[in-house]
Structure formats: C-alpha cells, structure tokens
Amino acid sequence: MVSTAPRKKRLSRAESQAATRRKLLESAFEVVSRHGYDGASVEMIAEEAGFSKGAFYSNFNSKEDILLQLLHTNASNDVEDLTELFADLDDAESVLSALKHWSDSRSANQKWGTIAIEFVRRTIHDGDPDNPQLNIFVAQWKGVGKLLQKKLNISPSRISALNLGGLVLEVTYGGISGFLKVNTSGEMLDDMLRMMLGPPASEPADSQGGAESGQQ
C-alpha cells in the first residue's frame, strides 16, 4: 500500500494576501533599518520579500504607507505585550522585574528605535512637525503609562501617563545604553520607577533625620 503525504491546505485569497503583507512589512523593517528611509526603495523592499513591485503596490500605496503601518503595528504591540505580560502580576516587585526584562529584550534590537527616529526626522525635515501621524507615539506613551500607573499604583498627580510611558519607551528604544555596555535600559527603568514608588519598607522616609532631630 502506497502512503501518500497529506495535501497542504491551500490558502484562501485573504490568507494569501495577509501573508504577503506580513512578509513585506518584515522586509521593510529590515531594509529601512539597514539603509535608512531615504536609502530604501520600494524595489528593495519588494525584492527582499521575494515579490514584485506590483505585489507591493497591491498592498501598500507607497514607501511612506508601509513605514506608517510598521510603526502602528509596533506601537500597538508594545501596549498589548505589556498588558499581557502584567496580566497575572499583582505585586510591584513582579511588575518591575517583568518590565526590566521586557525593556532589555526590546532594546537589544535597536532597529525599532532607528526606524522611529527615521520617521520623525523625515516628518520634521518635510516641515510638518504637527503631522497627526506623530500621534502614533503619543498614544503608545499614554497606553504604557496608564498601564504602569495602574499596576504600580502611581498617582497621575506624581507623573502623567504620557510622561511615564514616554520615559519608559525613550529609555528602552533610545539605543545608547545598548552600545555603552555599562548598564541596560531595564536597569535604568528599575531604578527610576523605584524612586517613584518611594523607599523600601526597611528604609522609611526621613527615619534617620527623625532620629537625629530627636537627639538634638
């Protein structure tokens, strides 16, 4: 009896197009991070993904369009990833530890930061600092900040969600710490957030000062 290998399921048209878009986005990520926005071209992105220019234009309107899609995806993924990561964590130590490892993992791949800076640089260069597309980052910062305010019980009166999320993501994607090798983004964030949360239980605030004032 001759055994036959199971037939590979044929993708539907929608599934095939989704797979093509995903490969093109992955290709754009690599090409733009390697050559910069100005150095990248539609031809290079399509070729890296193994498709024709026609396939590119069937999915994206332009090089700017695919870059925007890439940034939207990454920005929303950060908020979703951290939400899932913190879902079952109820104490500050666990949240801080998880954030530290997440930040170190993300900052190890400095390409995301490079692509974001490329986009902002080009927007400013084109004389459009008020481009609504820059709200991608504002929404991302607020989303991460609100999540940390809730999980770490940080009052908005101490620091806004926008500034808290901005600090976390700027430190994570800033890139310089990845080159210096003297500390990590996760270590810096851990120190920063611990200062916001106050001294540990073993070191109550002004305990030493209070003792000294009592002796005088």
Alpha carbon 13 to its chain centroid, in Å, reads 31
Question: What pLDDT is stored for residue 212 in this prediction?
Answer: 45
192 SS3 class: helix
Spatial distance between the Cα atoms of 140 and 113, rounded to a whole number of angstroms: 14
Question: What pLDDT is stored for residue 27 in this prediction?
Answer: 93
Query: Inter-axis angle of helices 63-86 and 135-152, to 10 degrees?
Result: 0
Q: In which residue are the tokens 């200062």 written?
A: 195
Question: What pLDDT is stored for residue 130 in this prediction?
Answer: 65
165 SS3 class: helix
Question: What pLDDT is stored for residue 11 in this prediction?
Answer: 64
Spatial distance between the Cα atoms of 25 and 112, rounded to a whole number of angstroms: 13
Q: How is 22-82 classified by DSSP, letter by letter?
A: HHHHHHHHHHHHHHHHHH--HHHHHHHHT--HHHHHHH-SSHHHHHHHHHHHHHHHHHHHH
Cβ–Cβ under 8 Å, residues 160 and 148: no
Question: What pLDDT is stored for residue 53 in this prediction?
Answer: 93
Spatial distance between the Cα atoms of 132 and 142, rounded to a whole number of angstroms: 16
Question: What pLDDT is stored for residue 211 in this prediction?
Answer: 44
| Helix residue ranges, H only, 126-173 | 135-152, 161-173
Global confidence as pTM: 0.73
Q: In which residue are the tokens 């399921």 written?
A: 9
Question: What pLDDT is stored for residue 49 in this prediction?
Answer: 93
Question: What pLDDT is stored for residue 163 in this prediction?
Answer: 96
- From first to last of the 216 residues of the chain, give the pLDDT tens digit: 455 555 666 767 777 888 999 999 999 988 988 888 888 999 999 999 999 999 999 999 998 899 888 888 888 888 999 999 999 999 999 999 999 999 988 887 777 777 777 777 777 776 666 666 778 888 999 999 999 999 999 999 999 999 999 999 988 887 666 666 678 889 999 999 999 887 654 544 454 444 444 444
**Which CATH architecture does the domain made up of 15-60 adopt?**
Orthogonal Bundle (1.10)
Question: What pLDDT is stored for residue 152 in this prediction?
Answer: 95
